[in-house]
Structure 1
């Protein structure tokens, strides 16, 4: 009974914050916007056994709307700080102006650790990585490229050309990153054969704001990514599902799930890593019947292995206290 009561209090609180957020004039950074979203995050971070699927339809609908509002607010926050950073002669020297920068340093270290664990079979770092939904402040790409994957080429995809021009401006004064960061303005659903060229694809939490949209994107990636390539995506767990969409293992059709990491601290997003399975019927051929030599990418084709549905990684998590906003 106690847990049911706790869940009811939580849901009531989330709904109360949702109604306040939905009455705001806009979601650009301001005192009211910042305090309401901070309150929402604090409400959703403590561990919770809440099962989102068992909630009534009206609460499900509020959750869907809230995720979209969170996404919109996050976009405004990133654009706001990208503009501030872009006003400096060397924007990358001032990244700590962004209030969540230290979180990105820690989260990227965690994601690099998970990625390395599953990529080490190739005996080398990924050569080409795509980040889908990179936005105006592509901190994941910047941090990974600066500290962890120092020889990797990063291809950043965003549907919004103004987000891409802001992002490319941030790295333009850095002689190394400006050579290794490429920005593409495209809907990822229109990107096909280029996806075969990436060793790793990152999918931002807010690409596909509801599960139907997300599954369409995952199915598209499954169709065009190279067999053996890794897909890293961000999900949510517990009450954090009010902030971000959830990806379930069974929605990763065409991928072998490798591991799921659910943080139990102030990092909001769960990290899911999976490997593109080789198509046993049409292995290494595209829709036109052309043969693709995936080993040129340092990737061998993988036949499906028995899917380990949720191998939780017991990392010694050094992340400490932090809030996480996904880019």
Structure 2
């Protein structure tokens, strides 16, 4: 009974915050916007047993709208700070002005540890990485390229040309990153054979605001990624699913899910690492071109997607999170 009561209190509070956010004239950074979204994050971030899928339909609809509002607000926030950073002679020396920079340091370290755990010695470190949905402030790519994968080339994909122009300005003064970070203005659904060139592809949490949209992207990646390459996805767990879409490992047909990690600290996103299945690549192409619905099988997966390895990267992070200023 206690857990039900706690769930009801949580849902009621989230709905109250949603109601206030939905009435804002703009979601660009301001005192009101910052206050409401901070309240939302603080409400959703504590560990919770709430199962989003069991909530009533009207709450599900509010959640879907809230995720889109979060995505819009996040876009405005990144654009605001990307513009601010561009005023510095070397923007990359001032990334800590972004209020959630420390979260990106932790998340990037987490993803690096998970990635290194599951890549073979022959494929490590990856030579070419793609980040889909990089935005105007591509912090994941910047942090990984600066501190963890120092020889890797990062290809950043975003559909918004202005976002890419802003992101390019941030790395342009840096002789190393300007050489290793490439920006592509295109819809990832229009990228085909080029996807075969990447050892690892990261899919941003807000690429595909709902599960159907996200699975269309995953289906497209399954059709064109090289067998054995890695797909890194961001998901959400518990009440954090009010902030970001949830990726069910069972939906990743065509991929072998290697591990799922749910942080319990201020890193909001869960991390799902999967490997492109080596089997039936031709079937993936055939089904993709026939434009099957996202709930249909892309590839009969030969993997055991439920075989999650008990790997806790946070055990490795404490001593290594310090970043040279």
Q: Work out whether residues 106 and 267 of structure 2, in 8 Å CA contact, stay in contact via their aligned partners in 1.
A: no
Task: Tell me which moved more, 196-205 or 85-94.
Answer: 85-94
Secondary structure, in 3 states, of the residue corresponding to 1:205? coil
Q: Work out whether residues 113 and 313 of structure 2, in 8 Å CA contact, stay in contact via their aligned partners in 1.
A: no
The CA RMSD over aligned residues, in Å, is 1.7
CA distance in 2, matches of 1:177, 1:316: 27
Residue of structure 1 in register with 2:15 after alignment: 15
Cα deviation, residue 281, structure 1: 6.5
The answer to whether structure 1 residue 313 and structure 2 residue 316 are counterparts is: no
Cα deviations by residue, 1:196-242 (Å, 9 ceiling, x for unpaired): 00000000000000000000000000000000000001000000000
TM-score calculated relative to the size of structure 1: 0.89
TM-score calculated relative to the size of structure 2: 0.90
Task: Tell me which moved more, 48-57 or 236-245.
Answer: 48-57
Secondary structure, in 3 states, of the residue corresponding to 1:66? helix
Cα deviation, residue 25, structure 1: 0.6
The answer to whether structure 1 residue 262 and structure 2 residue 262 are counterparts is: yes
Matches within 5 A, 1:31-180: 31-122=31-122, 124-180=124-180
Specify every segment of 5 or more residues in structure 2 that has no aligned partner in the other structure, as ranges.
287-300, 319-325
Cα deviation, residue 317, structure 1: 4.1
Q: Work out whether residues 200 and 232 of structure 1, in 8 Å CA contact, stay in contact via their aligned partners in 2.
A: yes
1:206/1:176 CA distance change after superposition, 3 Å: same
1:22/1:306 CA distance change after superposition, 3 Å: closer
1:281/1:101 CA distance change after superposition, 3 Å: closer
Secondary structure, in 3 states, of the residue corresponding to 2:234? strand
Q: Work out whether residues 249 and 309 of structure 1, in 8 Å CA contact, stay in contact via their aligned partners in 2.
A: no
Cα deviation, residue 286, structure 1: 6.9
Residue of structure 2 in register with 1:234 after alignment: 234
Secondary structure, in 3 states, of the residue corresponding to 1:126? coil
Cα deviation, residue 113, structure 1: 0.4
Q: Work out whether residues 14 and 43 of structure 2, in 8 Å CA contact, stay in contact via their aligned partners in 1.
A: yes
Residue of structure 1 in register with 2:188 after alignment: 188
Q: Work out whether residues 195 and 225 of structure 1, in 8 Å CA contact, stay in contact via their aligned partners in 2.
A: yes
1:311/1:318 CA distance change after superposition, 3 Å: closer
Secondary structure, in 3 states, of the residue corresponding to 1:104? helix
Cα deviation, residue 265, structure 1: 1.2
Cα deviation, residue 18, structure 1: 0.1
1:312/1:66 CA distance change after superposition, 3 Å: farther
Specify every segment of 5 or more residues in structure 1 that has no aligned partner in the other structure, as ranges.
288-302, 321-327
Secondary structure, in 3 states, of the residue corresponding to 2:162? helix
Cα deviations by residue, 1:26-63 (Å, 9 ceiling, x for unpaired): 00000000000000000001111111111111000000
CA distance in 2, matches of 1:46, 1:111: 21
Q: Work out whether residues 204 and 233 of structure 1, in 8 Å CA contact, stay in contact via their aligned partners in 2.
A: yes
Residue of structure 2 in register with 1:298 after alignment: none
Secondary structure, in 3 states, of the residue corresponding to 2:265? coil
1:88/1:314 CA distance change after superposition, 3 Å: closer
Residue of structure 1 in register with 2:201 after alignment: 201
Task: Tell me which moved more, 48-57 or 158-167.
Answer: 48-57
Cα deviation, residue 310, structure 1: 3.3
Cα deviation, residue 318, structure 1: 6.4
Secondary structure, in 3 states, of the residue corresponding to 1:282? helix
Number of equivalences? 304
